[in-house]
């Protein structure tokens, strides 16, 4: 019951629809009540039973017939007509109430999805570090689906059936409360297994959803990493893992299936037993003359009708439990706040010249292992600074902190002498152009990929940055030029081409600070030459931080910083650093003359 209230809470914003649903449900109950009442005159008339003598109570139908002055003759056509009307009315309002509830469910699920996505899109980077894509995706897709089903179908059923049940109980107790008590003394027997079933179902439902997410995850990883899988001939290994995931899903599905399948026959059996017992007592009540056979007929029909709501309620219960499990799982997303957000007093960073200062900055992704130790440096406006060092030394981390993808554990990072933790994220990031190794291109046209996020950008500017990024020529050779659609995640382009598109995209913002994180690492020498030109084009008039894989690309840097194990160990120009016998010189010697790839 508590769970239903929680689900109901989601729908509360649809107050008017909910009210309409209640009204329709009351009509359904009313017509069901009417139908049950019709059984009595039908049976007693057929049996020619002098029914008035059997009971002192006024029956609904006796009342109706008397007030409408319907004679004994007319009853023969009035009764069937009433049956048709009552059944039609019940059907009509069942239809309306179902439709209304479905629309409430679909509305709620649209809102939930939007809300989830809103939470996700603003999450800080570390949120996605800790969770798998498949898992998050199944929250937004299948969990919301489950909630929609619970609200649209089952919750509506549940509420409507409760109202119908109340109407039927009123009839049952009014007709013969002694017989009713007999019938309902054994009814709690049916409630006990219901409680046990619903608890089990909830547990199993949760388990099987978690395992489905496992399959999803596995699938996603294998598809996105299909190249790696092939390259390492890991097909059999991946198959084994997948078989494992489907097997455990199968097992939990079967456990769920057993409980689900058992639920309905078991309830039916209990219903049957109750019926048999009532039949026995009822026949005695007729022979003793307390009720007419028609009353008993109506009574039994009412009992059977009230069995349907109970059955439906138990079935609805299953789906509702699953919906609630899903609802609990999405709470994690709905309740999580982005770790990195604007401070209450954050102000927009005014347009900057591009001075970047790090003062004793330390950082760790997780408490256990520090990644940066007391990093301090200063970059003047329009300078080009290169960061070099072995893979894993912390170069990307420095960049991550500057864009506030993560927040420094201690120390201060300033742009134009303004602490970046005091400004709004949007104003900060809009002034930083970022080209990373992970080149995310979207399934859209080249033009829209370059103009990502910048609506109504004049085409001349897009073409301009493409030219500066040395991408214009290859774009023109594509079948539809700038309107060419890039395949899913840009697979149709070479990595050098994608890299140049990414540079063009970063340039379009015309940012005062430009960061190129190993933007030249995945390239052949022709692409590298082009990007070299592109970079010289784009570095003019802005502060540029280049993390370089190939040292040839940074020889002209104003300053080179060497990072080693989270510390800046050497700073200077190329010539200066070659003088000292340090890490830079070693790295350089490694790459030249033999051009060995000793760096990253
Ligand atoms: P580089 O760019 O110099 O190759 P990074 O800055 O990417 O190095 O990484 C520095 C260290 O931080 C590495 O040891 C890496 O394993 C760790 N690291 C990088 N990103 C994360 C992350 N998202 N979560 C935890 N540790 C990370
Ligand atoms: Mg890196």
Q: What are the pocket residues of ligand 1 if the criterion is a CB atom closer than 6 Å to any ligand atom?
A: 129, 365, 371, 389, 391-397
Q: Ligand 1: which residue has its CA nearest to atom 19? A: 397
Distance CA 56, CA 295 (A): 12
Q: Ligand 1: which residue has its CA nearest to atom 13? A: 392
> Which atom belonging to ligand 1 lies closest to the Cα atom of 394?
6
Label residue 573 exposed, middle or buried (CB < 10 Å: 0-12, 13-18, 19+): middle
Q: For position 275, which CATH number holds?
A: 1.20.1560.10
Ligand 1 centroid vs 233 CA: distance in angstroms?
Answer: 28
List, for residues 391-403, the tens digit of each pLDDT value.
889 999 999 999 9
Q: How high is the pLDDT of residue 325?
A: 87
> Which atom belonging to ligand 1 lies closest to the Cα atom of 566?
10
Q: How high is the pLDDT of residue 597?
A: 43
Ligand 1 centroid vs 215 CA: distance in angstroms?
Answer: 28
Q: Which two tokens stand for residue 67?
A: 């007030």
350 in a structural domain: yes
135 in a structural domain: yes
List, for residues 526-541, the tens digit of each pLDDT value.
777 777 777 777 777 8
Q: How high is the pLDDT of residue 593?
A: 59
Q: How high is the pLDDT of residue 541?
A: 83
Q: Are residues 311 and 212 in the same domain?
A: yes
Q: Are residues 187 and 239 in the same domain?
A: yes
Residue 402 lies in domain: 341-431+513-520+542-600
Q: How high is the pLDDT of residue 30?
A: 94
Q: Are residues 402 and 470 in the same domain?
A: no
C-alpha to C-alpha distances, 527 to 412, 478, 521, 522, 561, nearest whole angstrom: 37, 17, 10, 9, 25
Q: How high is the pLDDT of residue 488?
A: 60
Label residue 516 exposed, middle or buried (CB < 10 Å: 0-12, 13-18, 19+): buried
Q: Are residues 416 and 549 in the same domain?
A: yes
535 in a structural domain: no
Q: Are residues 498 and 554 in the same domain?
A: no
Q: How high is the pLDDT of residue 268?
A: 80
Q: How high is the pLDDT of residue 523?
A: 65
Q: Are residues 245 and 392 in the same domain?
A: no
Packing angle of the helix pair 156-175, 75-121 (nearest 10 deg): 150
Ligand 2 centroid vs 542 CA: distance in angstroms?
Answer: 22
Q: How high is the pLDDT of residue 416?
A: 93
Ligand 1 pocket mutation, candidates 397, 437, 563, criterion most atoms within 8 A of CB: 397
Q: Ligand 1: which residue has its CA nearest to atom 7? A: 396
Contact yes or no for 132/30 (Cβ under 8 A):
no
Distance CA 136, CA 117 (A): 10
Q: How high is the pLDDT of residue 600?
A: 42
Q: Ligand 1: which residue has its CA nearest to atom 25? A: 365
Low-confidence ranges of the chain (pLDDT < 50): 595-600
Ligand 1 pocket mutation, candidates 124, 358, 365, criterion most atoms within 8 A of CB: 365
Ligand 1 centroid vs 539 CA: distance in angstroms?
Answer: 26
Q: Ligand 1: which residue has its CA nearest to atom 2? A: 396
Look at residues 285, 313, 334 and tell me which one is the last residue of a structural domain: 334
Q: Are residues 416 and 480 in the same domain?
A: no
Q: For position 505, which CATH number holds?
A: 3.40.50.300
- pTM of the predicted structure, to 2 decimals: 0.71
> Which atom belonging to ligand 1 lies closest to the Cα atom of 399?
6
Contact yes or no for 186/277 (Cβ under 8 A):
yes
Look at residues 510, 532, 556 and tell me which one is the last residue of a structural domain: 510
What is the DSSP pairing of strand 418-419 with strand 432-435? Answer: unpaired
Q: Are residues 231 and 135 in the same domain?
A: yes
Q: Are residues 78 and 216 in the same domain?
A: yes
Q: Are residues 356 and 312 in the same domain?
A: no
Q: Are residues 420 and 444 in the same domain?
A: no
> Which atom belonging to ligand 1 lies closest to the Cα atom of 125?
23
82 in a structural domain: yes
Ligand closest to the CA atom of residue 517: 2
305 in a structural domain: yes
Q: Are residues 180 and 53 in the same domain?
A: yes
> Which atom belonging to ligand 1 lies closest to the Cα atom of 517?
2
Domain count, the chain: 3
Q: Ligand 1: which residue has its CA nearest to atom 24? A: 365
Ligand 2 centroid vs 387 CA: distance in angstroms?
Answer: 10
Ligand 2 centroid vs 392 CA: distance in angstroms?
Answer: 7
């Amino acid at each position: 019951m508590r769970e239903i209230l929680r689900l109901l809470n989601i729908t509360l914003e649809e107050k008017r629809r909910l009210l309409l649903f209640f009204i329709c449900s009351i009509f359904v109950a009313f017509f069901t009540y009417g139908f049950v009442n019709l059984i009595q005159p039908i049976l007693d008339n057929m049996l020619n039973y002098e029914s008035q003598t059997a009971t002192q109570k006024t029956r609904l139908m006796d009342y109706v017939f008397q007030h409408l002055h319907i004679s004994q003759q007319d009853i023969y056509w009035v009764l069937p007509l009433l049956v048709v009307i009552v059944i039609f009315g019940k059907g009509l309002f069942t239809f309306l109430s179902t439709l209304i509830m479905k629309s409430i469910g679909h509305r709620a699920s649209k809102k939930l999805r939007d809300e989830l996505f809103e939470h996700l899109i603003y999450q800080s980077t570390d949120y996605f570090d800790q969770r798998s894509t498949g898992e998050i995706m199944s929250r937004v897709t299948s969990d919301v689906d489950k909630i929609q089903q619970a609200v649209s179908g089952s919750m509506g059923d549940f509420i409507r059936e409760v109202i119908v049940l109340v109407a039927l109980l009123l009839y049952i107790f009014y007709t013969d409360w002694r017989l009713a008590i007999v019938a309902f003394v054994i009814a709690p027997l049916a409630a006990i297994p219901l409680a046990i079933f619903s608890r089990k179902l909830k547990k199993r439902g949760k388990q099987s959803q978690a395992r489905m997410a496992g399959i999803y995850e596995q699938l996603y990883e294998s598809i996105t990493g299909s190249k790696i899988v092939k390259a390492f001939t890991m097909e059999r290994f991946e198959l084994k893992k997948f078989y494992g995931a489907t097997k455990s899903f199968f097992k939990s599905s079967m456990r769920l299936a057993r409980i689900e399948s058992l639920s309905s026959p078991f309830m039916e059996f209990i219903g049957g037993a109750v019926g048999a017992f009532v039949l026995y007592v009822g026949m005695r009540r007729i022979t003793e003359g307390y009720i007419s056979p028609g009353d008993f007929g109506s009574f039994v029909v009412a009992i059977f009708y009230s069995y349907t709501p109970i059955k439906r309620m138990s079935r609805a219960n299953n789906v509702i439990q699953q919906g609630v499990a899903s609802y609990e799982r999405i709470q994690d997303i709905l309740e999580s706040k982005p770790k990195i957000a604007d401070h209450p007093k954050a102000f927009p960073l005014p347009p900057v010249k591009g001075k970047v200062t790090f003062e004793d900055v330390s950082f760790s992704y997780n408490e256990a292992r520090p990644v940066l130790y007391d990093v301090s440096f200063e970059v003047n406006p329009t300078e080009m600074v290169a960061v070099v060092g072995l893979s894993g030394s912390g170069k990307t981390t420095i960049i991550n902190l500057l864009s506030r993808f993560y927040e420094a554990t201690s120390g201060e990072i300033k742009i134009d002498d303004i602490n970046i933790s005091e400004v709004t994220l949007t104003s900060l990031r809009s002034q930083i152009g970022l080209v990373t190794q992970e080149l995310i291109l979207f399934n859209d046209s080249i033009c829209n990929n370059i103009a990502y996020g910048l609506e109504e950008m004049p085409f001349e500017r897009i073409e301009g940055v493409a030219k500066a990024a040395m991408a214009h020529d290859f774009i023109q050779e594509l079948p539809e030029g700038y309107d060419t659609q890039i395949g899913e995640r840009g697979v149709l382009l070479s990595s050098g081409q994608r890299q140049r598109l990414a540079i063009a995209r970063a340039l379009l913002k015309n940012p005062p600070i430009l960061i190129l994180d190993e933007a030249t690492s995945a390239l052949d020498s022709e692409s590298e030459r082009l990007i070299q030109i592109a970079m010289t084009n784009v570095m003019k008039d802005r502060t540029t931080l280049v993390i370089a894989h190939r040292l040839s690309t940074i020889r002209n840097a104003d300053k080179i910083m060497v990072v080693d194990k989270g510390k800046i160990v050497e700073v200077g120009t190329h010539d200066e650093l070659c003088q000292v016998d340090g890490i830079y010189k070693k790295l350089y010697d490694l790459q030249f003359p033999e051009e060995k790839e000793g760096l990253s």
